[in-house]
Structures are given as structure tokens and as C-alpha cells.
Amino acid sequence: MKAFLMFRDQDLDLKNKLPWNEQALIQDLELNTLFNAMAQGDAFLFDVSKRVVLSSLNDVDTLIYRQNILKDCLKNASIVRAIYQITIDSIENKKRHWMGIFNRYPAGILYNSRDMMQMFVELLVKLKNLADKHSDRFESEGFARFFKMIKKELDEEYISVVKNHIKELKFDSGVLISAELGKGNEGTNYILRRPWATRRGWLDLIFGQREAVYSFRIADRDESGARALAELKDRGVNLVANALAQSADHIDSFFTMLRMEMAFYVGCLNLAEQLAELEAPICFPVPMAASKRRHSFRGLYDVCLALAMSHKVVGNDVDADGKALVIVTGANQGGKSTFLRSIGLSQLMMQSGMFAPATSFSANICESLFTHYKREEDPTMTSGKLDEELARMSEIVDKMTPNSLVLFNESFAATNAREGSEIARQIVSALLERDIKVIFVTHLHEFAHSSYEKKMVNAIFLKAQRRSDGTRTFRLIEGEPQQTSYGGDLYKQIFATMN
């Protein structure tokens, strides 16, 4: 049995390597805030959310496949959580009862596997009942196939046969084993047989002719005899024990995989519920092929900022379709870095199959996502700040492929404005030539304005809006880059108090 709720034709693999810049993405985009919101204190949900979000998909069809499943989850949250709870119960029950590592003997393996199968069957029946009762409420291809598989594999006949086998393997009528004598009168060909009582009707048992039986008893204190009898029993039940253990492992693997795949959607439900409480909008993005240049959205906001502040935050509207370069300038504390973070977060969320924090969102998928944010001064003083920035840039370039996305946040400002602008200009030009999409937040006016004067058809220029009195709207508007500083704000702040 396979769930296939993350991919059409393969299981979710949490052992896949995360991107090499995992820590930089987590730090720059404040991703732990997102993962904590999805996990709600559950370490397993945190790990699954982290791995799925950071393992971006580059296939539009698979993204749509996941989106449709998530839409079903949002419409049927209680049923989805009930399915997930069944998988949790299977794990918890296994922890309480499974003693397989201590069972070296077939009889022990048999009894242990039988108890596990009995527990699994009860959970499978619960899962089947959910499928029978609620499957018509789900519309996605993934859930339709999942429920169809459950109904087919777990029909009444299968459940009945399994229950009967489990009952027989309790050996209420004793263990019946046949054997043959081999060379040197050694026992061979041990086979577990169904007890006579299960093969004969009750009338036959009472009135039927009894077969001749030769029997013997082991004395209560005959340890050697008891040990020899146990060895014979182990030989007889060995094949059945192995088969039952494999069946238990198969069902255990099914529940384990189902738990992993459902965990991602439960994490999405947790996040959606918190955003609903904040009245923060969400939408399902429209992903486009990596070769296209699409980036348009309405009401896009920084989901991590909203979660951290516990209230709805300002969103932005931008139409950057056909653009490969976005340069953002404007006053400090005007929302530029927040906007840049919202771009990175929404890209990762879209490429994991999630909803986006916006009222509408469409973007091309990117082969890889990179962040180049300014860092604190090197405390060891082994290198200057500009050297450190350039070293990180070199490392990013080595990993970069066409159709990647790079987010720059006030990069190359550790030197004078002219030198920093020239470095930024040359790096951005080289990236655009390699079909890399660039979003650059900067205070380097010479770099921003010279780029603006080129009237590049594949570039858009945004600036943080500031009213005449200096107040920030935290919105970005399209326009010519302007020189910005705190000077005017400080002047008004200081001298307004003196008047």
C-alpha cells in the first residue's frame, strides 16, 4: 500500500540532502518562525516542515498536484487530522508493545508480530471507515487515489481473513506441527498445521471417530525436555513467524510513510489557522515554468513578521512580469527588507506546494534560491567586511545555475559608495547574462540610478513610500530611485521637540 500524497509516483524521502545554503536561508528569511508556526511545538512536524519547504520542487505539475491536495485538507481539516492521528497511534502503540529487538526466537517473533498485527488491523479498520464515510468530500487526484486504494486493499474479506488468522495464531487449541525424519533420524521438514479443532465441525468432534494418538508429557522439572520441545516449536513456527513479521513490517512502513506525508499538510493546516486568526489572507499561487519571467502579486506580506507580531501586516502590490531585475531603494525602516523577505518566503512556500501569503500570487519557479544579506563584522578580524561579502558571493556563483533567484539585501555597502556601486553593477550584469533573476535592496544610489537611466526593459524600480512628514506607509511604489538618509527625519525629530 502506498499513500502518494506528496508525489504522483514516489514516496516522500526525508533523507534527501537539504540545499547547501540551508543555514543562510533560515537566517536571512527567518524561516524558523514559519517552521515553529507549522509545528506548534511538535518536533516531528517541525522537521518535516523544514525539509519539505527547503527541498523546493522544480516541476509545475507536481506543485499543482500538492496544491489540490492541500485545498482538500483546508476544506476537510478535521478528517485530515483524524487520519494523521491514526498514524500517530500506530507509532505510539508500536513503541509500547514492540519488543522485536529482544526476540531471537521464532515463537517470540510470532507472538510479537501477532500482537502488532492485531493493533494494526484495528487502525486499518478506522482508516477504512473514514474512507467509506468521507471520501466523497475530497476532490483532488491524490486523495481520490488514496481513498480508492484504501477501499480496494482493505475490503471486508481482507479484514475478515486477517482477523481469523490472528485468532488462529493465538493457538488456543495448542500448536500442531508436522515433521519428517531425515538422515540420522534428524527431524526435517517442520510445518505448522491448522489445529484439528478448526478443521472439523463440532458434531464431528463429538460423534466422529477419533484417530489413534501417541502422546507423552514433559515433567514439570524437566528443563532439558522443555527446552527441546521449545526448539521443536520454534522450527515449526519459523516460516509463519517470518511471514507474519514481514506483513507487520509492511503495514508499519505504510503508516510511517503516511505519517510523514500527512505531517506536511497538518503543518499547513496549523499555519493557515493561525493566519486566519490574524485575518491575514492566503491564496494558492500560480506557478510558471522556470524559463519564464513572471512575478506579479497583490497584498504580498511577510508571513513571519505577521506571526511574530501577532497581527496583520501591510502587503504590497507589484507587477514584475517579464522582469529579470528588481531594484528597491528608499528610506530606512520603510519596509524594503521586509518586502525582500516576503519574496523569498513566498517563493519557497509556492515551490513546496503551499499557499502564499497574499491575495493573489504568480511567479516562475526558480532552480535555486540564494540570499546575499549583509552580515555583522567578523569578530576574529581575519578578513574585512567587504572581503567576507565577496567571498560569500563567490561561493554563491559557484553553486548557481540559470533560472535561479538571488536576493541581495544592502550588499557591497562596506566600502565607499562609488566602489560598492561598481561592484554591484558588474555582478548584477553578469548574473543577468546567465539568466539569473535578481532582486536587489540597496542604498547605493549611484548603482540604482545608473541602472535606471539605462531604461532596461527587463528591470523594474521600486522605492519605499514616505510621506512628506516623514512617516512610512511600509508600501513599495514604482518610481525613480532617490537618495535617502535619516538626515531629514532626524532634523524634524530634534527641532520639532525644541519648538
218-273 per-position pLDDT tens digit: 777 777 766 766 666 666 566 777 777 788 888 899 999 999 999 999 999 999 99
Q: What is the DSSP string of 19-85?
A: PTTHHHHHHHHTHHHHHHHHHTT-HHHHHHHHHHHHS----HHHHHHHHHHHHHHHHTHHHHHHHHH
One domain, residues 236 and 374: no
Q: What is the pLDDT of residue 101?
A: 44
Output the domain CATH number for residue 292. Answer: 3.40.50.300
Expressed as residue numbers, the domain containing 491 is 286-498
Residues in the chain: 499
Which of 277, 306, 322 is the last residue in one of the domains? 277
One domain, residues 172 and 210: yes
Indicate whether 455 belongs to any domain.
Answer: yes
Q: Is the pLDDT of residue 15 over 80?
A: yes
One domain, residues 397 and 328: yes
- The mean per-residue pLDDT over the stretch 304-323 comes to 96
Indicate whether 435 belongs to any domain.
Answer: yes
C-beta of residue 194 within 8 angstroms of C-beta of residue 168? yes
Q: What is the largest CA-CA distance in the chain?
A: 118
The amino acid at 168: E
Cell digits of residue 72: 482538500
Structure confidence by residue, pLDDT tens digits, 370-409: 999 988 765 665 567 899 999 999 999 999 999 999 999 9
**Residue that has been written with the C-alpha cell 540597496 in this structure:** 442
What's the whole-number average pLDDT of the chain?
87
Q: What is the pLDDT of residue 102?
A: 47
One domain, residues 367 and 418: yes
One domain, residues 302 and 230: no
Which of 277, 310, 331 is the last residue in one of the domains? 277
CA 242 to mean position of chain CA atoms: 34
Indicate whether 303 belongs to any domain.
Answer: yes
Q: What is the pLDDT of residue 490?
A: 47
One domain, residues 306 and 235: no
Q: What is the pLDDT of residue 198?
A: 52
Which of 277, 297, 316 is the last residue in one of the domains? 277
Please state, in angstroms and rounded to a whole number, the distance separating the CA atoms of residues 267 and 289: 27
| CA Rg value for the chain | 33
Cell digits of residue 94: 508500536
Kind of pairing between the strands at 360-364 and 176-181: unpaired
One domain, residues 249 and 382: no
3-state DSSP assignment of residue 401: coil
One domain, residues 335 and 304: yes
Please state, in angstroms and rounded to a whole number, the distance separating the CA atoms of residues 274 and 210: 72
One domain, residues 425 and 396: yes
Confidence of residue 180 (pLDDT cuts 50, 70, 90): confident
One domain, residues 432 and 471: yes
Q: What is the pTM of this model?
A: 0.86
Indicate whether 40 belongs to any domain.
Answer: no
Q: Specify the number of domains making up the chain.
A: 2
